[in-house]
Structure 1
């Protein structure tokens, strides 16, 4: 897929800061990490999002879990569609390490716990 920047990385035609590589997936640092340690995990095969090929999505999640098994708090984020903030239409999982007061706001969390919610 010539117009996919992640396919270009997989093919070795575009640079990346590689974190880990498997036969079926790659992990690398995004161009603009939002926290220290932010990593993307992508499948080597092109699929547009997590709903397109369930097996590929599950394998990519498996690789992300394997990579971050011993890590601390983090968000795992993926998107489907431009309206959901997807800008590269190749399945990718954002692994975003978190720390108290890191300044990264997520829209569904105010930082305060409400009674009955965890």
Structure 2
């Protein structure tokens, strides 16, 4: 996998996605290879490597991103009764682009 799947594949349009919610700056979509029965990814449309690389000038974008995460999570909770929101950092972060996973259910693949 590339360093930034989201910029190189999703935002470029090379990998089509099923959109859940979109603004000018943020995209939420169903994961292309879901690990859970409900697995939605929310990303900023501008490249930001991770949560810990955010700068003070990114505050408005972070607020908008979290607003979309909140709306999607609220929808999942309304439909399924619960959800988890996950972000990964460092070696746990496969794609070096800030993203949040909104998930529900038991893992589809057992490790």
TM-score past 0.5 threshold: yes
Cα displacement (A) at 1:103: 5.5
Q: Which has the larger radius of gyration?
A: 1
CA RMSD of aligned residues (A): 2.2
Greater relative CO, 1 or 2 (CA 8 Å, sep 6+): 2
TM-score (norm 2): 0.74
Where do 4+ consecutive residues of structure 1 move more than 6 Å?
Answer: none
How many residues were matched structurally? 98
TM-score (norm 1): 0.70
Q: Is the 8 A contact 1:26 1:44 kept in 2?
A: yes
CA 1:81–1:57: 2 relative to 1, 3 Å: farther
Q: Which runs of 5+ in 1 are unaligned?
A: 105-118
State which of 65, 75, 78 in structure 2 corresponds to 1:60.
Answer: 65
Structure with the higher fraction of residues in helix conformation: 2
Q: Which runs of 5+ in 2 are unaligned?
A: none
